[in-house]
Chain A
Amino acid sequence: MLDLWAALPPALQDVLFALALIAPGLLAGALVLRGLRPLPLVGAMLRRFVWVNALFVALIAVSVGLGVGLLAQERGLRQGSARAAEKFDLIVAAPGSEVTVMLAAVYLQPSDMALVTGAQYAEIAGAEGVAFAAPIAFGDSYQGAPVVGTTVDFVSHLAGPLAEGRVFSAAEEAVAGAYAPVDVGGSFTPAHGHGPMAEGDAHDGFAYAVTGRMAPTGSPWDRALLVPVEGVWAVHGLANGHAPDDPRIGPPFVPEMMPGTPAVLVHATELWGNYALKSRFTRGDLMAFFPGTVLAQLHGLMRDVRSAMSLMAVLTQVLVTLSVLIGLMILVRLIARSLALLRAIGAPLRFVFAVVWAYSAALILSGAALGLALGWVAARGISALVTARTDVLVTANLGWPEAHLVAGFISLTLFMALLPAWLAVRRPLLTDLRT
């Protein structure tokens, strides 16, 4: 049986799981409503207590929306951060914290780091199977946008063909990220450092001319300004990696003339080459790692948080629904006379039971549907906020996990709705008629 389940396509597994979750609730409904037509009466009850009903629906919708929005948002954030790291095959840096280097090199969160020396870079770039090894030299900024020194190979690898203009060909030229604060044709003088403490006048007298703009990548690099690494070295008064009379930019660099770089992105000619290179450069004086691995480990640690979050979302929804059902029991007391009249004129107990259950079900289903919509809107809104704050493109859409959550919620609460219906038919008829 398990083999058969495992052999099914994932999409079919999701559909079947959703159906299995919602089936008990629907089955209970089919049994309760079989052969009866309580809906006209339910419609009248919904209209009669419209504001109370609206409040109950809103309560359910908010709780469902919160759960759905949180789950969708968490997945969107996970996928967005993973997408942003996809182009960073293998990073080589001086020994230290992989997380720190990943945050600095992939997500452009500046950090003080030891440098890979010119000789080490030459060894990495010259290793068998290396298609290119791009220095990633950060430390400067312009209007909050990071200024990163690298090579032409890296620009092409990161974003493909430029959306506008051409790639840099001199140390004083730059390529802007898709949403960087300088237009093609403009120029800028970098500040030394990042944030409020950046020294705006440290590099006065030096300017980069922007010659091109990258296509969007969905990563913090969209806000960055990419310059030849030689420019970064030169602006800090260091050797530029080449002989004094050599005007070239880009590798190969003269090891003795290369001041060093915080990180090197290594791209292998073959996929397997990345693993061989990682093994080769994991040693005492260098650290090689896959950002994808570090990220997957971090996301793995969050898996327990995610499970707890899902459980809390379900519990919140059930608690809210329980409150609504308790409210309904009170409401049933208010309409007890009408229900007693129904019974007095010959309506069977099962019909009264069906009316109360269908009334509760209508509130639950409306609240769940509205909650799904609310969750989607919330997820989109929070995604836009996170994207604006982190520059990591987060797109949160509703998926099967949210569908399963709502299906499970509906099924459970439709069962819970049997309780007020049962209590309604157990009320003493004569007492209710006299009230």
Chain B
Amino acid sequence: MRACLLSLLLIAAAPALAETHDHDDHVAEAEGLRVVHAWTPATAKGADALVYMEVENTTAAEVTLTGGEAEGAELELVGFTYGAAGEAWTVLPGLPIPAGADLDLEPKVLALRWSSVPMDLTPGAELEIEVEVGGQHLHAHVEVGEAGATAHSHAGHNH
């Protein structure tokens, strides 16, 4: 009888648990550092993919975001510039995130660049990447959005 009730409880709770799991997919956290809402627009094989996210530093010390890794390839931290010659992304050595502050990697500002992706990144797919920040390697899920997307599908949510 107890087993039966427990089973019913688990079945009833399954959607809620699944929801929590889905939301947790958007967050990577370790020792006061969080990577939230990592996403990238759909990218064809061989092109450069730009990965965007929010990095939160809830520790009491400044940390530095330096880059990351995906499928064994380096993710470079790049900054956007725009002039008469057009758009350009320049490799940055690292960016400090003060204690208690956030850093937004967003289109046409900052990104982690994955050069010459080895496969098509199609809308709806998910990737696993490592984000190097404050000496930590945070494992983050990256949601692949539409090719022309300008924000994460959950942008604005506080999780």
Contact = CB atoms under 8 A, between A and B. Distances in A.
Contacts, number: 60
B103 to A, nearest CB: 5
A290 B108 CA distance: 9
Contacts of B96: 276
A293 B87 CA distance: 9
Interface in B34-93: 46-47, 79-84, 86-87, 90, 92-93
B104 interface: yes
Interface stretch (A79-87, A171-179, A247-255): A79-87
B89 to A, nearest CB: 12
Contact of A275 (B83, B95, B98, B101): B95
A218 to B, nearest CB: 9
Interface centre among B81, B84, B92, B94 (most CB of A within 10 A): B84
B65 to A, nearest CB: 10
Nearest to B110: A275
Nearest to A289: B109
A296 B92 contact: no
Interface string A290-305: 1011011100100000
A3 interface: yes
B25 interface: no
Contacts of B83: 82-83, 85-86, 292
B84 A272 contact: no
B29 interface: no
Contact of B84 (A82, A278, A293): A82
A80 B47 CA distance: 29
Interface centre among A80, A83, A86, A276 (most CB of B within 10 A): A276
Given A82-B82, A86-B84, A293-B109, A272 B92 contact: yes
Contacts of B94: 272
B46 A272 contact: no
A293 B82 contact: yes
Contacts of A296: 80, 82, 87, 108
B102 interface: yes
Contacts of B101: 279-280
Interface centre among A80, A86, A280, A293 (most CB of B within 10 A): A293
A293 B108 contact: yes
A2 B47 CA distance: 10
Interface of B: 46-47, 79-84, 86-87, 90, 92-98, 101-104, 108-110
25 contacts: A2-B46, A6-B47, A82-B82, A83-B84, A85-B82, A85-B83, A86-B83, A272-B92, A272-B94, A274-B79, A275-B79, A275-B110, A279-B95, A279-B97, A279-B101, A279-B102, A279-B103, A279-B104, A280-B98, A280-B101, A293-B108, A293-B109, A295-B82, A296-B80, A297-B108
Q: What are the nearest 6 A-B pairs in CB distance? A: A292-B82, A83-B84, A272-B92, A296-B82, A86-B83, A79-B84
